[in-house]
Homo-oligomer: A and B are copies of this chain.
């Protein structure tokens, strides 16, 4: 049995716990909250389910104990740097980290890589939503006069998105002033953004999300090759599940002595799955 610890117990941590409990080859090796000591951690792999900005710090503490990590670090522009710094740390401590193991970055990245191999020339569009954007929601909440907010991402196709921002105003705040601040915020200034004042943001909350990933391209010298990948999902449930599947890959790669940090496009897909190789190949290939 693979012993899997959870660090951070928000939406993703709870979803990961359910995925560990459902896995035939894993057992829960403890749940660690924000300020817990990691001194007693006895695990093969830890899922770092903290906010993205705390991932590296927590992962470092775990890896220094020789324990593998999986995170769903989601700032696309900083993924490579995280992978590089964790690579060195893992090589020193003989462990393996899978970084950015969610659905985007994560499984969508695998689909993008596969489609590029299938049609090397062409354009890939990743259309997100409808679903809540965490980054945009946090940005909207930071606007003066906003008591609570929810920013929904609406796909308009070809990678263009509309932002539907539902806001609960603070007592005495002026809706027009809040809207003016919102529309010039860098998170919203470049997209078609609509602000809607509501009585309760809490009542609108829904963790559903979606993706429509499209590629139209060329295989060899043949044009008009068309591909799409679609999903409508519970966001934390999928993220937690993918982290758990990647935990399996991390432990296997550690056993093979392939110490370092990897993104999902660097992992053989079969490593994500429980069960013996022959059964998996016979049923999936």
Name A residues whose Cβ lies closer than 8 Å to a Cβ of B.
15-19, 21-23, 76, 79-80, 83, 100, 103, 105, 107, 109-114, 116-121, 218-222, 224-234, 237-238, 240-242, 244-245, 263-270, 272-274, 278, 280-282, 284-285
Q: Once the chains are docked, how many angstroms separate the CA of A221 from the CA of B236?
A: 11
Return the contact of A230 from the options B76, B112, B224, B228 (Cβ within 8 A): B228
B80 touches A281 (CB 8 A): yes
Contacting pair A112 B284 (CB below 8 A): yes
User: CA–CA, A268 to B22, complex, Å?
Assistant: 26
Q: Are the C-beta atoms of A231 and B227 separated by less than 8 Å?
A: yes
Give the shortest distance, in Å, between A96 (CB) and chain B (any CB): 13
Residue of B nearest to A246 (CB): B117
Copies of this protein in the assembly total: 2
Contact of A263 with B281 in the complex, beta carbons under 8 Å: yes
A220 touches B232 (CB 8 A): no
Contact among B219, B230, B234, B281 with A19 in the assembled complex (CB-CB below 8 Å) = B219
Q: Do the beta carbons of B225 and A113 come within 8 Å of each other?
A: no
A100 to B284, CA, bound (A): 12
A61 to chain B, nearest CB (A): 24
In the assembled complex, 11 residue pairs joining A and B whose CB atoms fall closer than 8 Å, in A order, are A18-B220, A21-B221, A79-B281, A79-B285, A80-B281, A107-B114, A111-B114, A111-B229, A119-B241, A229-B229, A265-B270
What is the CA–CA distance of A42 and B84 in the complex, to the nearest angstrom?
38
* Inter-chain contact A285/B100, CB cutoff 8 Å: yes
Which residue on B lies nearest to A232, using beta carbons? B226
Task: Flag if A240 contacts B219 (CB, 8 Å).
Answer: yes
- In the complex, given contacts A219-B238, A226-B233, A266-B281, what are 6 additional A-B residue pairs having Cβ atoms less than 8 angstroms apart? A15-B222, A83-B281, A110-B114, A117-B241, A119-B238, A226-B232
- Establish whether residues A241 and B107, one from each chain, have CB atoms under 8 Å apart when the complex forms: no
Distance, CA A245 to CA B118, complexed state (A): 8
Taking CB as reference atom, which chain B residue is nearest A238?
A: B219
CB distance from A16 to the nearest CB of B (A): 7
- Residue pair A284, B241 in contact (C-beta under 8 Å): no
Could you say which residues of chain B place their CB within 8 Å of the CB of A228?
228-231
